[in-house]
């Protein structure tokens, strides 16, 4: 089925043209049905828009906002699907299989992350020791001289922060009408 044939079928079921320049709700909903069906048929938004006289952005918008149509429009949509698109159910199965594969990949990734988290040592010190033990002797010496010793000097030279002295607030000599200051 071509887009022109689809347009004629929708116009026949609705009883009016969908390609005119109007913003009447019934026409807009008919365009949404057309754009949704056109997209199921794997046409581009540009082709769909050209068929009904709108740009590709409008065709995209109609496709994405199909959920807002009324029940009568859904009946027409489902009727056209049943009459002309029996093959599309196989495509839906393919789409479900693709989603299933996508979810399985995500599950494997999450399982891998869980195993990495479970394999981590129980403390940070053990983690550091494990990493340093895997280095050769020269790398360990270089690390101590260039990284560890300067950092240790920095830590020792830190001055502990003094705790601020708590000062009592000012006393109010006369009564104030503000309830927050009483």
Using pLDDT thresholds of 50, 70 and 90, give the confidence band for residue 95: very low
Query: Which superfamily does CATH assign the domain made up of 3-84 to?
Result: DnaA protein, C-terminal DNA-binding domain (1.10.1750.10)
What are the tens digits of pLDDT across the range 147-158? Answer: 988 999 998 888
> Is this structure's pTM higher than 0.85?
no
* Cβ neighbours around 88 below 10 Å, total: 15
Q: What separation in angstroms does the CA of 128 have from each of 92, 109, 122, 136?
A: 51, 26, 11, 15
**177 secondary structure, DSSP code:** S
Using pLDDT thresholds of 50, 70 and 90, give the confidence band for residue 169: confident
Asked if residue 99 has pLDDT above 70, the reply is: no
Lowest mean pLDDT among 29-33, 37-41, 137-141, 166-170: 166-170
Q: What is the domain partition of the chain in residue ranges?
A: 3-84, 124-156
What are the tens digits of pLDDT across the range 45-56? Answer: 999 999 999 999
Using pLDDT thresholds of 50, 70 and 90, give the confidence band for residue 94: very low
């Amino acid at each position: 089925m071509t887009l022109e044939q689809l347009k004629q079928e929708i116009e026949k079921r609705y009883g009016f043209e969908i390609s005119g320049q109007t913003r009447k709700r019934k026409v807009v909903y008919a365009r949404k049905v057309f754009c949704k069906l056109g997209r199921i048929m794997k046409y581009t938004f540009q082709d769909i828009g050209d068929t009904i006289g709108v740009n590709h952005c409008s065709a995209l918008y109609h496709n994405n906002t199909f959920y807002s149509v009324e029940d009568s429009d859904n009946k027409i949509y489902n009727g056209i699907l049943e009459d002309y698109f029996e093959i599309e159910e196989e495509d839906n199965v393919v789409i479900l299989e693709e989603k299933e594969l996508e979810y399985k990949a995500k599950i494997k990734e999450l399982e891998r992350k869980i195993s990495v988290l479970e394999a981590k040592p129980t403390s940070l010190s053990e983690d550091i020791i494990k990493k340093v033990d895997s280095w050769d002797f020269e790398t360990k010496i270089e690390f101590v001289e260039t990284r560890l010793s300067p950092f240790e000097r920095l830590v020792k030279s830190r001055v502990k922060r003094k705790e601020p002295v708590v000062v009592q607030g000012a006393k109010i000599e006369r009564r104030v009408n503000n309830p927050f200051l009483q």
